[in-house]
């Protein structure tokens, strides 16, 4: 029925085009490689399997069809997130032989420490690493991009359309809080930015399947969680470019982004149990250039909150104090509100999906 499927996909794209939607990205199915799903089922026992090669062949067929409607859309493939291990290289070789010329992004999914995630384990990892590996998420993404280039497809870049901390003991830890979940997420986000990741998406926006105590999503029952607060801080860097930055303190991590007009945003995570005074060694910026500075911290109730922080200048360098277990943002050389306020995040379901479509 592949011909019918391709025809349906084409008509869907045309439906979008007829209604004025400028589709820029098209994702070709999700985690199709899992054993037992509708692709990898072998109900008649004759050895059928959904392989990287067969996925690539179908990808190419569908790509040719949807490109007739949206020729400039970027196309996203999906495969297992194990660069450098298992059969990742051979799978990419097989897939690219079929569809390498039409794939723009390879979507890899990352969940930190699936089944074993906890606050104490996160605190012990400096920096946090992929489960069963000494590789950071930054290194893993960079390795995937290198593999694609070495196979002759430097145009294919990594995307991460699902990432989050995994399930684990934190879900039954009475001392765990929403803030702890959110702070753990910020280190993954920092690493993805450091890697120059083009597209990333925390999974998921909201899930009705989790209770309030164990949610790790952005919204819970229409209310924004602590995760939304750190996302608000990073939203200020939209459109800027990651620039070289480094920290010489274990447990303190940094990413800096610069805008076309010289504006600079610096994000500093302190996952240690100690307050740390940091010296920002950079040229061209002084105390008068500080536009705003924020700290994301526990707030005393475990729900997370934001507060403004101060900087000072000494010996020609900017300095500030990073409280233990906080994410900090310093914005320089751009207009900012004279009296910045903690954001109010409004959540509203505009067009609910009819039950019959789910």
- For 227-251, the pLDDT digits (tens) are 999 999 999 999 999 999 999 999 9
Q: Are strands 252-258 and 264-270 parallel, antiparallel or unpaired?
A: antiparallel
Residue-by-residue DSSP string for 281-304: --SS--GGGEEEEEEEE-TTSSS-
Indicate the average pLDDT of the chain. Answer: 92
Q: Are 183 and 325 in contact (CB under 8 A)?
A: yes
Higher pLDDT, 200 or 41: 200
Residue-by-residue DSSP string for 16-36: HHHTT----EEE--SSTTSTT
The counts of H helices and E strands in the chain are 7, 17
Higher pLDDT, 52 or 224: 52
Neighbours of 52 (CB within 10 A): 23
pLDDT at 208 (0 to 100) = 73
Instruction: With a cut of 90, say whether residue 286 has pLDDT above it.
Output: yes
pLDDT at 301 (0 to 100) = 94
Q: What mean pLDDT comes out for the span 272-290?
A: 96
- For 87-140, the pLDDT digits (tens) are 999 999 999 999 999 999 999 999 999 999 999 999 999 999 999 999 999 999
- For 157-169, the pLDDT digits (tens) are 999 999 999 999 9
Selection from 250, 275, 260 nearest residue 328 by Cα: 275
pLDDT at 223 (0 to 100) = 81
Instruction: With a cut of 80, say whether residue 217 has pLDDT above it.
Output: yes
pTM: predicted TM-score of the whole model, two decimal places: 0.92
pLDDT at 352 (0 to 100) = 63
* Helix (H) / strand (E) containing 187: helix 178-194
Of the candidate ranges 150-164, 182-196, 207-221, the one whose mean pLDDT is the lowest = 207-221
pLDDT at 351 (0 to 100) = 67
pLDDT at 38 (0 to 100) = 67
């Amino acid at each position: 029925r592949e011909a019918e499927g391709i025809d349906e996909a084409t008509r869907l794209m045309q439906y979008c085009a007829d209604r004025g939607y400028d589709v820029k990205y098209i994702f070709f199915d999700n985690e199709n490689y899992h054993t037992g799903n509708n692709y990898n089922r072998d109900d008649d026992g004759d050895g059928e399997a959904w392989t990287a090669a067969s996925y690539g062949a179908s990808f190419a067929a569908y790509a040719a069809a949807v490109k007739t409607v949206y020729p400039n859309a970027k196309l996203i493939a999906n495969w297992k997130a194990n660069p450098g291990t298992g059969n990742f290289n051979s799978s990419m070789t097989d897939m690219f032989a079929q569809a390498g010329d039409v794939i723009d992004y390879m979507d890899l999914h990352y969940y930190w420490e699936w089944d074993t995630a906890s606050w104490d384990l996160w605190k012990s990892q400096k920096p946090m690493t992929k489960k069963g590996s000494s590789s950071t998420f930054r290194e893993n993404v960079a390795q995937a991009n290198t593999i694609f280039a070495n196979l002759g497809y430097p145009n294919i870049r990594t995307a991460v359309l699902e990432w989050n901390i995994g399930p684990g003991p934190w879900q039954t830890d009475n001392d765990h809080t929403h803030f702890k979940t959110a702070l753990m997420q910020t280190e993954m986000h920092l690493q993805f930015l450091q890697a120059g990741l083009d597209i990333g998406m925390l999974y998921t926006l909201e899930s009705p399947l989790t209770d309030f105590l164990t949610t790790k999503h952005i919204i819970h029952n229409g209310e924004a969680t602590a995760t939304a607060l750190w996302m608000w801080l990073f939203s200020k860097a939209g459109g800027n470019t990651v620039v070289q930055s480094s920290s010489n303190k274990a447990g303190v991590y940094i990413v800096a982004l610069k805008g076309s007009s010289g504006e600079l945003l610096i994000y500093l995570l302190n996952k240690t149990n100690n307050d740390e005074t940091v010296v920002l060694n950079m040229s061209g910026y002084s105390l008068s250039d500080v536009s705003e500075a924020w700290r994301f911290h526990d707030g005393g109730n475990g729900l997370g909150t934001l507060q403004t922080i101060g900087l000072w200048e000494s010996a020609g360098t900017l300095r500030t104090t990073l409280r233990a277990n906080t994410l900090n943002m310093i914005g320089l050389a751009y207009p900012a509100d004279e009296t910045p306020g903690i954001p109010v995040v409004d959540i509203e379901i505009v067009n609910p999906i009819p039950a019959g479509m789910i």
